[in-house]
């Protein structure tokens, strides 16, 4: 029996289809992106199902996508059912990442264009059926009627009759403009909340298959350690233990019940050959400068050295950022059912299709026989343990031929995830007699190892690596010539360069990628956050040097009208007082208050954002309290203002936690930040600042991403506010009390 996708949906009513599919037969390939039927189906009863390759991680995108389809099809929000990220059902849209879901599905192609294509097709069908030209028809609530004669009507269900559209996406199909929106643009509540707050929602952690067993993995003490010996007799006779699985350096246990797996994994005696020692953490940042590097010259006006040595005023500063982690709330979990030559996998991965191709590699199966179904996990901000635990579950399930659920321990989650990378950033700039920037030299060093697995690199994450797959090659090389087109999607190029959004004609941007001893990957605002911390702090230092107001100084060096406007909007809402920093009259002891600003065009083209922070520093203890954050954003037409606010608020506070306390730590042998006592997150209850999101709803033009905007600015805005309050400049994240005290002590 080989049912097609539509038959499954008819038979099963949508979401539960995935369970039927597993039993039914061969896994189908992903539906093609250019076909309307890949995106939208209308059943005979008029119910509408939309399919998307962009998943809900908690960022609210499923609500917005449901609004998008309802809007284009002129039906109420509730009428649309959305299915996302199932490799047998939904179009392959690669990752859900990089703030790309809105650009991908709300602009001129994919899901939004499918909605418009479907609406126009329905109008053509209705025109034929009712014998009335298209321009005399209107659609309301899934019914097309003749203007002025509402008795002449036909429903979508009657038009489609449960058949396929069999149409290509029409790039000319006319999209509704924001001025016409009745569903998009509204703060529609998230439909998943009633289930979430009552414990009815099914996370991947709650997937339970018949006959499911439980696994745990036993990780090495550090990356590079290898298995010397596994003493299976150490767990002999323990209740429920079914199998010890050893494959190269991967070790796991499978038991009947979860508590048994935890106990067995703890008891299993493994001797490891230690890996190479870890770098000395005291000299770590400096050591990056000396490693073999892969260099990229992004900008070079070739006059930078001359300008810096010409006797002008030159400022220089070095900024340091640590490795940081996702530290997801729940440790990662997956459920896999590998039987014979096929696999069904429930995963919280941000890339079901890449999980499919790389799981096939580690299992030795054909990719077409691997079916990956997204189930939400604990909040992921790039690549947490979700992908690696999916491999864990797949390998253990294959070893026993039964469904296996694996959840990582807190320590395994934190010690082996793909961290957001550390950075060393040197900035140098020269100023003319009026204080304007004449050249800016940016040079950075950043360690990397692995990444998302992509289509064929399972070794980019810990489990694939332990199974013997190598991470992506690292080949040092000197920089080639500057590319003609500036690619600023890591925000390495400062906003103030004429090549991007500013006016400064002279500058150089040289980056050095070096090899990391820890796995790294894209952690929310990857590289953009680190680079922007350095740029927006340094810009403040330049403004202070010439006694200019920090906002005015930025505006003076910017050209892009939208970036200027977003900065002005944040400053205005914050009642920004125009004057240079530091704040006059502050004492050098006790409490001191101050404010700081920062702004950026995220990725050079994906979200205008500005932030003003107001803080109070206790100069005796080095502790800071953030009183208020004003975050302005312009991300084009806003599809759901409350969803956007939620992202802006969450980003600002996550940025605050990363700025104040979060830092991966290690000793000579192992990672030592392995739980919530050793990795310092802000808790739910702390002196939460007042957060005001200023939303500029730009109804003309393209939709941009919003998930990584406010977080990118927090460290710079807070650092600038500390300087404003105290005259002390802090250049290393996180801003711990010790570092703040040291900066205060170093004041002139």
Partner 1 sequence: MAITLKVNGRSHTLDLDPATPLLYALSDDLQLNGPKFGCGLGQCGACTVIVKGQAVRSCVTTVESVEGDDITTLEGLGTPDKPHPIQQAFVNEQAAQCGFCLNGVIMTAKAFLDKNPKATEAEIQQAMSTVLCRCFTNVRMLRAIQRYGR
Site for partner 1, rule CB under 8 A? 57-60, 189-190, 192-203, 205-206, 208, 214, 239, 257-259, 262, 326-331, 333, 376-380, 407, 409-410, 642, 646, 649-654, 656-657, 675-677, 681-688, 691
SS3 666: strand
Kindly state the smallest distance separating residue 204's Cβ from partner 1, in Å.
10
b (16+ CB within 10 A) / e for 209-233: beebbbbbbbbbebbebebeebeee
Closer residue to partner 1 (CB): 266 or 476: 266
Give the separation between CA 459 and CA 452, rounded to whole angstroms: 9
Instruction: Kindly report the number of other CB atoms within 10 A of residue 745's CB atom.
Output: 9
DSSP string, 239-296: TTEEEEEEETTEEEEEESSHHHHHHHHHH-EEEEE--SPPPPGGGHHHHHTTS-EEEE
Closer residue to partner 1 (CB): 405 or 731: 405
Looking at 428-575, list the stretches that DSSP marks H as alpha helix, in order from N- to C-terminal side.
462-466, 528-545, 550-556, 561-573
Give the separation between CA 426 and CA 538, rounded to whole angstroms: 10
Cβ atoms of residues 502 and 555 within 8 Å: no
Residue (of 69, 26, 326, 306) closest to 181 by Cα position:
69
Closer residue to partner 1 (CB): 199 or 584: 199
Closer residue to partner 1 (CB): 173 or 629: 629
Instruction: Kindly report the number of other CB atoms within 10 A of residue 515's CB atom.
Output: 15
Kindly state the smallest distance separating residue 395's Cβ from partner 1, in Å.
21
Kindly state the smallest distance separating residue 54's Cβ from partner 1, in Å.
16
- Cα distances from 532 to residues 28, 294, 502, 536, 697, in angstroms, run 44, 21, 15, 6, 24
Sign of CA dihedral 579, 621, 691, 107: positive
Instruction: Kindly report the number of other CB atoms within 10 A of residue 544's CB atom.
Output: 20
Closer residue to partner 1 (CB): 81 or 119: 81
Kindly state the smallest distance separating residue 221's Cβ from partner 1, in Å.
19
Kindly state the smallest distance separating residue 333's Cβ from partner 1, in Å.
8
Kindly state the smallest distance separating residue 319's Cβ from partner 1, in Å.
24
Closer residue to partner 1 (CB): 616 or 649: 649
Closer residue to partner 1 (CB): 192 or 702: 192
Give the separation between CA 309 and CA 698, rounded to whole angstroms: 44
Q: Which strand (E) or helix (H) includes residue 464?
A: helix 462-466
Looking at 364-419, list the stretches that DSSP marks H as alpha helix, in order from N- to C-terminal side.
386-400, 410-416
Cβ atoms of residues 724 and 718 within 8 Å: no
| DSSP class of 420 | B
SS3 716: helix
> For residue 441, what are its two tokens?
């030299």
Closer residue to partner 1 (CB): 265 or 424: 265
Rg of the chain over all Cα atoms, to the nearest angstrom? 28
Closer residue to partner 1 (CB): 27 or 630: 630
Closer residue to partner 1 (CB): 285 or 645: 645
Kindly state the smallest distance separating residue 64's Cβ from partner 1, in Å.
13
Kindly state the smallest distance separating residue 499's Cβ from partner 1, in Å.
34
> For residue 493, what are its two tokens?
């190029």
Kindly state the smallest distance separating residue 625's Cβ from partner 1, in Å.
12
Kindly state the smallest distance separating residue 397's Cβ from partner 1, in Å.
17
Degrees, nearest 5: CA angle 663-666-671: 95
Kindly state the smallest distance separating residue 192's Cβ from partner 1, in Å.
7
> For residue 474, what are its two tokens?
């690292």
Kindly state the smallest distance separating residue 676's Cβ from partner 1, in Å.
4
Closer residue to partner 1 (CB): 620 or 675: 675
Kindly state the smallest distance separating residue 667's Cβ from partner 1, in Å.
20
Give the separation between CA 275 and CA 463, rounded to whole angstroms: 16
Residue (of 606, 638, 428) closest to 500 by Cα position:
606
Q: Which strand (E) or helix (H) includes residue 439?
A: strand 437-448
Cβ atoms of residues 447 and 424 within 8 Å: no
Kindly state the smallest distance separating residue 181's Cβ from partner 1, in Å.
20
Closer residue to partner 1 (CB): 181 or 203: 203
Closer residue to partner 1 (CB): 367 or 650: 650
Residue with tokens 């001359």: 306
Q: Which strand (E) or helix (H) includes residue 719?
A: helix 714-726
Closer residue to partner 1 (CB): 176 or 375: 375
């Amino acid at each position: 029996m080989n049912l097609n996708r539509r038959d499954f949906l008819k038979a099963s009513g949508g979401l539960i289809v995935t369970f039927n599919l597993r039993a039914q037969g061969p896994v189908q390939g992903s539906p093609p992106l250019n076909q309307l039927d890949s995106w939208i189906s209308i059943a005979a009863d008029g119910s509408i199902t939309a399919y998307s390759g962009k998943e809900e991680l908690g960022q609210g995108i499923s609500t917005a996508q449901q609004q998008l389809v309802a809007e284009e099809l002129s039906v109420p929000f509730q009428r649309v059912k959305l299915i996302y990220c199932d490799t047998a059902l939904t179009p392959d849209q690669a990752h859900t990442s990089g703030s790309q879901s809105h650009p991908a599905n709300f602009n001129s192609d994919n899901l939004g264009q499918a909605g418009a294509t479907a609406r126009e097709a329905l109008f053509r069908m209705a025109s034929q059926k009712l014998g009335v030209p298209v321009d005399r028809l209107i659609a309301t609530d899934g019914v097309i009627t003749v203007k002025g004669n509402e008795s002449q009507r036909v429903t979508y269900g009657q038009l489609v009759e449960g058949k396929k559209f069999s149409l290509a996406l029409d790039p000319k199909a006319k999209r509704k403009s924001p001025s016409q929106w009745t569903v998009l643009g509204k703060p529609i509540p998230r439909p998943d909340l009633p289930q979430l707050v009552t414990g009815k929602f099914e996370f991947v952690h709650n997937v339970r298959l018949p006959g499911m067993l439980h696994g745990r993995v036993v990780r090495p003490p550090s990356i590079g350690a290898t298995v010397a010996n596994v003493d299976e007799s150490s767990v002999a006779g323990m209740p429920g233990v079914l199998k010890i699985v050893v494959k190269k350096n991967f070790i796991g246990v499978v038991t009947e019940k979860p508590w048994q797996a935890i106990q067995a994994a703890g008891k299993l005696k493994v001797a490891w050959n230690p890996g190479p020692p870890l770098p000395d953490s005291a000299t770590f940042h400096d050591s990056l400068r000396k490693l073999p590097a892969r260099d990229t010259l992004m900008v070079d006006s070739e006059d930078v050295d001359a300008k810096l040595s010409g006797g002008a005023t030159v400022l220089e500063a070095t900024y340091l950022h640590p490795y940081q982690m996702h530290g997801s709330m729940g440790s990662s979990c997956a459920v896999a059912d590998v039987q014979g030559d096929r696999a069904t996998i429930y995963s919280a991965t941000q890339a079901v299709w890449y999980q499919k191709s790389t799981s096939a590699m580690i299992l030795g199966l054909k990719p077409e026989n691997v079916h990956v179904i997204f189930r939400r996990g604990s909040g992921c901000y790039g690549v947490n343990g979700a992908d690696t635990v999916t491999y864990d579950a797949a390998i253990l399930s294959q070893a026993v031929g039964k469904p296996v659920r694996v959840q990582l321990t807190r320590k395994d989650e934190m010690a082996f995830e793909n961290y957001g990378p550390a950075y060393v950033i040197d900035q140098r700039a020269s100023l003319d007699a009026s204080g304007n920037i004449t050249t800016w030299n940016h040079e950075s060093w950043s360690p990397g190892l692995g990444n998302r697995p992509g289509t064929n690199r399972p070794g980019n994450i810990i489990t694939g690596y332990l199974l013997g797959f190598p991470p992506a090659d690292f080949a040092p090389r000197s920089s080639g010539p500057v590319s003609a087109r500036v690619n600023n999607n890591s925000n390495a190029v400062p906003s103030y360069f004429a090549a991007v959004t500013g006016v400064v004609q002279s500058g150089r941007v040289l980056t050095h990628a070096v090899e990391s001893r820890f796995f790294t990957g894209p952690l929310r605002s990857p590289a953009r956050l680190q680079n922007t911390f350095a740029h927006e702090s340094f810009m403040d230092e330049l403004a202070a040097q010439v006694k200019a107001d920090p906002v005015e100084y930025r505006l003076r060096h910017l050209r892009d009208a939208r970036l200027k406007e977003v900065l002005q909007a944040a400053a205005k809402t914050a009642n920004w007082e125009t004057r240079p920093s530091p704040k006059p009259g502050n004492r050098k002891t006790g409490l001191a208050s101050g404010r700081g600003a920062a702004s950026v065009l995220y990725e050079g083209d994906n979200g205008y954002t500005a932030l003003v922070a107001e803080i109070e520093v206790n100069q005796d203890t080095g502790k800071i309290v953030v009183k208020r954050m004003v975050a302005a954003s312009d991300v084009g037409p806003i599809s759901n203002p409350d969803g956007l606010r939620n992202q802006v608020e969450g980003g600002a506070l996550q940025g605050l936690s990363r700025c104040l306390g979060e830092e991966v730590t290690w000793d000579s042998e192992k990672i030592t930040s392995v739980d919530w006592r050793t990795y310092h997150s802000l808790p739910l209850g702390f002196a939460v600042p007042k957060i005001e999101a200023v939303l500029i709803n730009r109804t003309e033009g393209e939709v941009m991403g919003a998930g990584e905007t406010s977080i990118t600015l927090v460290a710079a805005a807070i650092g600038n506010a500390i300087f404003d309050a105290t005259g002390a400049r802090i250049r290393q994240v996180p801003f711990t009390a010790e570092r703040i005290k040291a900066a205060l002590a170093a004041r002139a």
